[in-house]
Amino acid sequence: MILVPTPLGRHALTRHVAVKASDYRDGDVVPPHRHARAQLVHAVTGVMRVTARGASWVVPPGRAVWMPARTTHAIRMAGDVAMRTIFVERKALPEAPDDCVIVEVSPLLRELILAAIAIAPVREDDARARAIWALIRAELRSGRVVPLRLPLPEDRRARRLCEAFLADPSAPFGLDGWADRAGASARTVSRLFRRETGMSFGAWRQQARLAEAVARLAQGQAVGAVAGALGYRSAAAFTQMFRRALGRTPSAYLRG
């Protein structure tokens, strides 16, 4: 189901900040679009798969994606998604990053986002609304950026390989096997990945598995089932990779 994003509503939090609540079903897609304001997009429930600027991000509950103004992006829903978005003009958050990034959403930030959504449309001088925004801004300044960016190459051969891998991440192929499926030599694929993603194919594959793991875990799949679906021989091997990449075990990461 293709959903056309609705125009920015008039639920203003302050003069330069607005908020919006949107609910989607599993499999819904928001097609490529952009906004004049930057956005902080958070899913209270469900997982969002966001693509923008030649990269892909998996955004589970407990995380949010920062989207700079006028950035064309698309979002696919995994599970029923309760999306809560804050639209921000540059002057309201001049220190905001110029790139798309995933940030951790602390329990306090989550409650502040929900409070901003729940508050009735307010006057520009509303003290409570200004206080909520000041706290949101403070939380964003101290929030940790999460390394879940998956760069996507533009070359059609490398992109075809990426799409094949993402469709079947448990396939037991090495670089030669994946390159053959993409219609290129292993040497060519290796060169393309270095040039277009800044990563080796092996590093890209691990990052892709990590992103897929986060999405599956957030949807409630067991660690052992996720490990098998991603081609790991054991849950222990998968947990070791996860801890090495994100500094925590899968269960601790989701609790965080």
Residues 11-54 pLDDT 10s = 788 889 999 999 999 889 999 999 999 999 999 988 898 999 88
Angle at alpha carbon of residue 75, lines to 113 and 219, rounded to 5°: 75
Sheet holding 81-88, edge to edge: 12-14, 17-24, 81-88, 38-43, 63-67, 101-104, 145-146
Per-residue model confidence as pLDDT tens digits over 71-116: 999 999 988 999 999 999 999 999 998 999 989 899 999 999 999 9
135: left (phi over 0), alpha (psi -120 to 50) or beta: alpha
Q: Higher pLDDT residue, 228 or 254?
A: 228
Phi and psi (nearest 5°) for 154?
Answer: -90, -30
CATH 1.10.10.60 fits 152-255, yes or no: yes
Intervals of CATH 1.10.10.60 along the chain: 152-255
Of 39, 38, 14, 36, whose CA–CA distance to 22 is shortest? 39
- Give domain 12-146's CATH superfamily: Regulatory protein AraC (2.60.120.280)
Query: Which pLDDT score, from 0 to 100, does residue 124 have?
Result: 65
Q: Which two tokens stand for residue 47?
A: 């997982």
What does pTM read for this prediction?
Answer: 0.76
Per-residue model confidence as pLDDT tens digits over 144-184: 777 678 888 888 888 888 888 888 887 778 888 888 877 88
Intervals of CATH 2.60.120.280 along the chain: 12-146
Return the CA Rg of the chain: 19
